[in-house]
Amino acid sequence: MKARKRPSTSAMVSARRKESVQKQAKTASTIITFLLEGTLVSISAVAEAAGVSRNFIYSHESLLHQIEAGRQTQADLGETPRQRRPTNGAPGRAALLTELSMAHGSIKRLRQELTDLNKRHEHCLGEQLHASSRTERSVAAAAQDAETRQLTEENRLLRQQLETQGHRISDLTDELIAERRASY
């Protein structure tokens, strides 16, 4: 029996975010459709038409603002629920203004998300540079340790040679003294 792979937490979070963004887009589209058709914009009606819960709308401030803007547009136009105004196939000025207002809100939200993503990106790059710097320091320290060991060994060999040469000088000095005494 094969073990089932569990999706990673980040994959699940990513899928949930994607689903949420799709639901938000569907809900915003429903609000625009209501305005264009002259249907009364309300949280319950929009939630039902978009296939989302009212709690979903309440949990997304941008959707609440869009619904409120739609209500205000309808109130400004003096439209009553389900009443349609002739548009000759083109959306009315109020609907276009509402759509423009919602587009500005979306642009503002996307700019903020971009700023946040840029900050996270810079933070990640900083961490990578810091880790790289630590690795370089570690490599440099290892090279320095190897050089220190090599120099220590060379120093030990030179001391041995110095000691050997010192004994030889001492022996030669003793021989020289002995020959001088013998020649007197």
Q: What is the pLDDT of residues 128-172, one digit of tens each?
A: 888 888 888 888 888 888 999 999 999 999 999 999 998 899 888
Where do we find the tokens 């120099």? Answer: 151
- Find out whether 111 and 105 touch, Cβ atoms under 8 Å: no
0.85 exceeded by the pTM? no
Average pLDDT for 76-90: 53
In sequence order, which ranges of 38-92 are alpha helices (DSSP H)?
43-50, 54-58, 61-77
89-to-11, 66, 76 alpha-carbon distances in Å: 44, 23, 21
* pLDDT for 90 beyond 60: no
Residue 87 is predicted with a pLDDT of: 46
93-183 and 9-37 helices, crossing angle to 10°: 160
Where do we find the tokens 């975010």? Answer: 17
What does the pLDDT look like over 91-118, one tens digit per residue? 567 667 777 777 787 888 889 999 999 9
* pLDDT for 73 beyond 70: yes
Residue 119 is predicted with a pLDDT of: 92
Query: How is residue 147 written in tokens?
Result: 């050089």
Query: How is residue 52 written in tokens?
Result: 């989302």
End-to-end CA distance of the chain: 106
CA 70 to chain centre: 35
